[in-house]
Amino acid sequence: MAVSFAISRNAPKEFDAIGIGVTSDGQVPKSVGYNRTRLAQLGFEGKLGQVAVLPALSGPATIAVGLGERSKVTPASLRTSAASLARAAGKWKRLVTPLADVKGLDPFEAAQAVAEGLVLASYKFVNHRSDRSGISAIEQVTLLASDLEHAKAMEDGASRGGAVGEAVNLARDLANTAPAHLNAHDLAEFAVRRGHAMGLTVEVFDEKAIAELRLGGMLAVNGGSTEPPRMVKLTYTPRSWKSTVALVGKGVMYDSGGISLKPSDGMHQYMKMDMTGAAVVLATMLALRATRPRVRVVGYLMCTDNMPSGSAMKLGDVITYRNGRTVEVLNTDAEGRLILADGLSLAVEEGADALVDIATLTGACMVALGNKFAGLMGNHQGWIDQVRSAGDRADERLWQLPLPVEYRKLLDSDVADLKNIGGPNAGALTAGLFLQEFVGGKPWAHLDIAGPMKADGDEGWVAKGATAFGVRTLVELLDRFSPPKG
């Protein structure tokens, strides 16, 4: 259920709970009704993300929300505090909070962060459950503004934050859905319905159209599946646009590994999330009506299963791409790069000024960076810097990895232009080097989100399950896009 936001100087006549920010230093707001000593007795010190539902005989509940040190309050920390408030207030419908009213912070950014935190932390995936208890009841949030001159900025910020948060939750839903309930055809139909509703141009390419386009990677990876592939192209066109950014998302709806079958361990249950890149691109495109960037955006969803069967691609097969490049397949579980190469090739032909691909691509990146950081690679430092800055603003952590030219020879094939794996070491880097072969020299950035694609539990604004990492980074990137120079 979507959360609605309103801005007011005073609390409405009727509400269920109020969340009041308390720093770990300085004075406690009088509206809390407790001094610092009494709060400490309740185990509340004002640390970032702490919450305490304060005892009351009657009337609306009061929730103390930790902000951390006064001098260190930022939009990112407000997002975390708002997430904690959302979980503490989840049983109430009408919430009031002055969290976004912080002196020294931009009111738009503060309200956006608070709205995002509330919406993101209210998420819980229950689509496959008969008992849907535990869903957040929050429906209405009133953000209090002491200075009405900031009301419009806060209203706009909350509207944007709510819309972006809902987009993230949509991508989470898609990535959490069981594979039997969401195949490539289903995702394409969903993209058509939602895309048209948001004013996007949506084109769907079935297996016949994919063959006519000579998308060799898509055809090869889909070879072992009974479910046909789909490529979805979504286009957002603002007025007076001058540049185009292309987003390419890996949409492997279920990844068994193909003939190079994955071991039968816990990883299999998460392979329904191997389409997170496509879900992130779709959610980003659907958010653009609310965020209104001034750049034209084209999104490609490369959707297929990767399954073993008598018709599956085999080790030693050679794929021919529409740009004439040939690839020897030496591991069918390195399939994501094969379909991303198709999307990147099309984006280059589209005439995009800059490219971003996003994918749950390599276990090697997860080994290197864990589950808190995504790997960031690319061929243009100015463009990489834009992506990294967007991640910083979104509080989605990116770590730049190199693309060493001396490692390119690891992809040399004896029978084709290149092979799809580079050996046992530096797997994330050789995957990036493979993709670089298909970007035609265009400014390009690659996001490997294999690590942060899922969370084992609620933490801050992250909810258990699929995280949809990357949506907010891409939204921020497009909002402040500058054509890469050089």
Q: Is 93 among the catalytic positions?
A: no
Contact 157, 108 (CB under 8 A): yes
Rounded to 5°, angle at Cα 147 from 144 and 149? 115
Q: Among 67, 56, 59, which Cα is nearest to 11's? A: 59
Q: Which of these is catalytic: 94, 160, 296, 337?
A: 337
State the DSSP string of 344-374.
HHHHHHHT-SEEEEEE---HHHHHHHTTT-E
Q: Judging by DSSP bridges, how do beta strands 230-236 and 17-23 pair with one another? A: unpaired
How many whole angstroms separate alpha carbon 100 and alpha carbon 154?
A: 8
Residue whose structure tokens are 């995957």: 431
Contact 270, 360 (CB under 8 A): no
Tokens found for residue 138? 């929050």
How many whole angstroms separate alpha carbon 395 and alpha carbon 80?
A: 10
Q: Is 289 among the catalytic positions?
A: no
How many whole angstroms separate alpha carbon 171 and alpha carbon 358?
A: 13
Q: What are phi and psi of 180, to 5 degrees?
A: -70, -15
How many whole angstroms separate alpha carbon 96 and alpha carbon 9?
A: 11
Tokens found for residue 136? 């957040």
How many whole angstroms separate alpha carbon 305 and alpha carbon 480?
A: 35
Contact 30, 39 (CB under 8 A): no
Taken as a whole, the chain contains a residue count of 486
3-state secondary structure of 164: helix
Distances (CA, A) of 309 to 75, 258, 328, 384: 50, 8, 19, 40
Long-range contacts, 190-194 (Cβ 8 Å, 24+): 191/232, 191/234, 191/282, 191/301, 192/232, 194/170, 194/282, 194/286
Rounded to 5°, angle at Cα 458 from 455 and 459? 90
How many whole angstroms separate alpha carbon 364 and alpha carbon 448?
A: 10
Residue whose structure tokens are 């769907």: 204
Q: Which of these is catalytic: 93, 262, 325, 464?
A: 262
Instruction: Burial-class residue 127 by CB neighbours within 10 Å (0-12, 13-18, 19+).
Output: exposed
Residues forming the active site: 262, 337
